[in-house]
Amino acid sequence: MQMQTESKPYDTINVTPMLDLAYVLLVVFILMTTATVAGVPIALPKPSATPPTERHELHVLRVDPDGTARFNGTPRSDEALLAELRTIQSRDPKATIVIQGDERARYQRVVAMIDLCGQAGIGISLATARIGF
């Protein structure tokens, strides 16, 4: 008995193994992306139950787009500003200066104002929205 084999080309390609591989890759991709999205744990401060009883001075130092420094709305030179900051620091050591840089101001000028406050030894905060004066 002799088997007769026909040698004819395949009409279709079996794509099942290729689909299995694609599904496995999809599952691996989903697992890896969800595993790497984990955030960085941070400890946020909790507000105290008692209201603060201490009051300290708060001043606004704005840096305009042209580089002008305005302290509480009044333009000041760097020397005059440093002298005033030192006076405020000697009067209230816990006073705070809020530095508000215009979005068009040069970053270098904003950093110079931060350094100026550091020279005076006064605390600073950076404003992210327009405030006061």
Strands (E), the chain: 58-63, 69-71, 74-76, 96-101, 123-126
Unique residue bearing structure tokens 């007769």:
4
CA dist 103 and 65 (Å) reads 7
Looking at domain 58-126, its CATH architecture is 2-Layer Sandwich (3.30)
- pLDDT (0 to 100) of residue 113: 92
Q: Which of 76-80, 93-97, 101-105, 125-129 has the lowest mean pLDDT?
A: 125-129
CB 109 within 8 A of CB 78: no
Q: What's the number of CA atoms in the CB half-sphere (13 Å) around residue 52? A: 4
Rounded to two decimals, the pTM is: 0.58
d(CA 35, CA 40): 13
Q: What is the pLDDT of residue 42?
A: 73
pLDDT for the residue 109: 92
Predicted confidence at residue 40, as pLDDT, reads 67
What's the CA angle centered on 76, arms 71 and 78, to 5 degrees? Answer: 105
Nearest to 82 by CA among 37, 41, 114: 114
Mean pLDDT on 25-53: 77
Report the run of H or E that residue 33 belongs to, with start and end: helix 16-36
